[in-house]
Amino acid sequence: MFITRYIKEVWGAVKSLTTGMKRTLYYFTHHKEIITEQYPDNRDTLVLPDRFKGEVVMPHNESNEHRCTGCTACELACPNGTIKVITRFDITPEGKKKKAIDKLVYHLELCTMCGLCIEACPSDAIKMAQTFEHSVFDRNKLTKVLNNPDSKIMEGVE
């Protein structure tokens, strides 16, 4: 009969709603058990897994020095042309020509985070960072120069 079916359906809906509300109320009073985190509210406390890869970066020390020799091994190892190493020749105090990096251009929008460039680098000059908020309106902003302006190679790195 129609009315019986209607009452059954309403009863089913109320039961289901109560079950959901019970779970909601439980977590409302048991905050510590909540696993799901609310991003971006948790930005300051967010802990990413060690193996998370966000982008390739080139660390510099406090004297604005990096470890890149401009050998281009990373560029050759990259399977999709994400890295372009532009080199120049510097003159050493002894008057000799020495290859140096001018710009290491990195196209984040192409990077698959495979890590092959980092493995290939003989000088430990690049690494993966865990930064991940990369959304931009202008795609060109995803093309980055990894070496800082006016930076130079660290003493002793060949």
Kindly state the number of chain residues that form the binding site for ligand SF4, as judged by CB under 6 A.
26
CB closer to ligand SF4 out of 44 and 150:
150
Residue from 146, 68, 59 nearest 111 by CA: 146
Q: Could you say which of 57, 77, 100, 129 contacts ligand SF4 (CB under 6 A)?
A: 77
Q: Could you say which of 18, 112, 131, 148 contacts ligand SF4 (CB under 6 A)?
A: 112
Strands 55-57 and 127-129: antiparallel
The one-letter code for the residue type at 62 is E
Site track for ligand SF4 across 114-153, x = CB under 6 A: xxxx--xx-x-xx---------------------------
Q: Is 106 left (phi over 0), alpha (psi -120 to 50) or beta?
A: beta
**Considering only 6-14, 20-28, 43-51, 109-117, which stretch makes contact with ligand SF4 by CB under 6 A?**
109-117
**Least distance (Å) between residue 106 CB and ligand SF4:** 6
Q: What letters, b where the CB count within 10 A reaches 16 and e where it falls short, cover 53-88?
A: bbbbebebeeeebbbbbbbbbbbebbeeebbebebe
List contacts with ligand SF4 (CB under 6 A).
56, 68-74, 77-78, 80, 82-83, 85, 111-117, 120-121, 123, 125-126
